Amino acid sequence: MRRLLLILILILLSTTAWAQLDGENLLQIRPPDYQISLQERQGQQIVTEMIPAKETADNWSEQVATRIFLETDVTPAQYQEFSAQEWRITCPDARLLPGTEGKDNGYPFSLWIQVCPRDTRTGGPEYAWFKAIRGQDNLYVVRKTFRFEPSEEQVKTWVHYLRSIRVCDPRRADAPCPPAGSKENKAAAAPAKP
């Protein structure tokens, strides 16, 4: 429970020092001018949804959603396939555009795009960028969604944001958490304003 609270606290903070983190941690900041619209535990998932401060949970144009799947063996590739199938339920013409796979701070990750020309629930398009990271114990998925076609500048800003998100564990030499006050720490704590 202590570790779950720490993960939630890290998501809530807009700037932070990552000093003295314990165990596996998701390092993600709340984007500037965003508010938390949902934060709850749903069985073996922790879900946090953030939207622009002037929007509502029922009527948003952009969203950052984080799902932490606790104690699972699901890989980023498996989640990518599951997500694509899930999207096709409300968007038969949905497309998955593969992106990048590799290791980030010692953990396997995948970054990809899903496009829905017309979602049957909203009647409009959805463009989403995903980053899934396979931690030692959990799967971490962060999704940035637009309910409109984003500009090239918006895409660059948000891909940069997704790339800044990582998992760390001070117990693992190949997945260290950045030390307080380090250049890497400051970059992770203060990405470009979207």
For residue 105, give its domain range: 34-165
* Residue 181 located in a structural domain: no
pLDDT at residue 12, rounded to an integer: 46
How many Cα atoms occupy the beta-carbon half-sphere of 75 within 13 Å?
7
Per-residue model confidence as pLDDT tens digits over 128-180: 999 999 999 899 999 999 999 999 999 999 999 999 999 999 888 888 888 76
Pairing between β-strand 45-52 and β-strand 62-69 as defined by DSSP bridges: antiparallel
Rounded CA gap, 172 and 176, in Å? 6
Please give the backbone phi and psi of residue 72, each rounded to the nearest 5 degrees, phi first.
Answer: -125, 160
Low-confidence ranges of the chain (pLDDT < 70): 1-21, 180-194
Is 8 a member of any domain?
Answer: no
Number of domains into which the chain is organized: 1
Does residue 13 lie within any of the structural domains?
Answer: no
Give the CATH number of the domain where residue 42 resides. Answer: 3.40.1000.10
Q: What is this structure's pTM? A: 0.83
